[in-house]
């Protein structure tokens, strides 16, 4: 597999002659952290699968629907909540043909389905939308979206209990699965608790490669986290430190 880090939580994974794009947005959606990563270019006949875990402005971009003009063999897999942002007026404003709707599959948590040549399972998020487990061309890829153990300082005890319970339940659904590549959240805004979610993931899920994401450009945290782990787990961590960085695994 070839993995391209576009920016933030957006990655493109090339495998089996296809490209799988996760949580792309144009980088300008969040004023306090702007990105300039670019979507890789492919031959027009490349099968393209575009996933969006939820409609937050740092994970979703309706402009990806314009890619259908360049790639006729394109499939969109969007969390159900994104549908409200894709009404006729919105598409017309963006200059997107109504026919593109036929290429969109909307998903809810805890579904299993096939789209084109890939099989997809969705998990509940602890924030919004879904997480994706994707089987494609002999590879299994997990993208967490905003599924994380969000232990925010100052939140109520009820909120903290909910976060722990749901996160552990959803990660528990991945136990016993052999995952080739996992994209997992580390968010610096959580302070001392920023590694809570990825720690639990590493301790409970078999993944050959784990790539931290959602770093808000604090790329040093991926290297720092890697250094905290014992040797075998340390080698699993993929460190992305710049936009449009590429890694082959």
As a whole number, mean pLDDT of residues 211-225 equals 98
Task: Give the CATH number, domain containing residue 77.
Answer: 3.60.15.10
What is the per-residue pLDDT across 80-89, written as a single tens digit (0 to 9) for each?
999 999 988 8
As a whole number, mean pLDDT of residues 95-113 equals 95
Give residue 94's pLDDT. Answer: 87
Is 2 a residue whose pLDDT tops 90?
yes
199-206 contacts at long range (C-beta below 8 A, 24 or more positions apart): 200/149, 200/167, 200/168, 200/171, 201/171, 202/229, 202/233, 202/236, 204/171, 204/172, 204/174, 204/175, 205/142, 205/171, 205/174, 205/175, 205/177, 205/179, 206/176, 206/177, 206/178, 206/179
* Residues spanned by the domain of 111: 2-248
Give residue 136's pLDDT. Answer: 98
Cβ atoms of residues 129 and 79 within 8 Å? yes
Count the domains in the chain: 1
As a whole number, mean pLDDT of residues 38-44 equals 97
pLDDT > 70 in the chain, percent: 100
Give residue 88's pLDDT. Answer: 87
Give residue 118's pLDDT. Answer: 98
What is the per-residue pLDDT across 105-136, written as a single tens digit (0 to 9) for each?
999 999 999 999 999 999 999 999 999 999 99
Q: Where residue 199 falls among pLDDT bands split at 50, 70, 90? A: very high
Is 207 a residue whose pLDDT tops 90?
yes
What is the per-residue pLDDT across 133-180, written as a single tens digit (0 to 9) for each?
999 999 999 999 999 999 999 999 999 999 999 999 999 999 999 999
**Which residues have a Cβ under 8 Å from the Cβ of 133 and sit 6 or more positions away?**
120, 121, 122, 123, 140, 141, 142, 174, 177, 179
Is 43 a residue whose pLDDT tops 90?
yes
**Which residues have a Cβ under 8 Å from the Cβ of 21 and sit 6 or more positions away?**
6, 10, 11, 12, 39, 48, 49, 50, 51, 64
pTM score over 0.95 = yes
Is 40 a residue whose pLDDT tops 90?
yes
Is 29 a residue whose pLDDT tops 90?
no
As a whole number, mean pLDDT of residues 15-26 equals 97
φ/ψ (deg, to 5) at 164: -65, -45
């Amino acid at each position: 597999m070839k993995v391209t880090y576009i920016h933030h939580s957006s990655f493109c994974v090339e495998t089996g002659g296809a490209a799988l794009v996760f949580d792309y947005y144009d980088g300008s959606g969040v004023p306090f952290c702007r990105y300039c990563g670019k979507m890789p270019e492919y031959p027009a006949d490349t099968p393209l699968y575009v996933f969006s875990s939820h409609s937050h402005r740092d994970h979703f971009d309706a402009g990806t629907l314009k890619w259908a003009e360049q790639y006729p063999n394109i499939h969109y897999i969007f969390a159900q909540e994104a549908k409200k942002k894709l009404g006729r007026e919105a598409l017309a404003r963006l200059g997107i043909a109504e026919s593109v709707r036929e290429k969109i599959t909307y998903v809810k948590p805890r579904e299993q389905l096939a789209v084109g040549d890939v099989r997809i399972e969705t998990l509940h998020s602890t924030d919004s939308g879904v997480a994706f487990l994707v089987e494609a061309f002999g590879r299994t890829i997990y993208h967490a979206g905003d599924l994380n153990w969000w232990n925010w300082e100052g939140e109520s005890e009820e909120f903290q209990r909910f976060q722990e319970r749901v996160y552990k339940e959803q990660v528990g659904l991945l136990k016993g699965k052999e995952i080739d590549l996992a994209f997992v959240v580390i968010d610096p805004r959580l302070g001392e608790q920023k590694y809570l979610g990825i720690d639990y993931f590493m301790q409970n899920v078999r993944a050959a490669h784990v790539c931290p994401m959602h770093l808000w450009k604090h790329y040093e945290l991926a290297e720092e986290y890697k250094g905290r782990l014992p040797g075998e787990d340390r080698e699993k961590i993929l460190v992305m430190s710049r936009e449009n960085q590429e890694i082959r695994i």
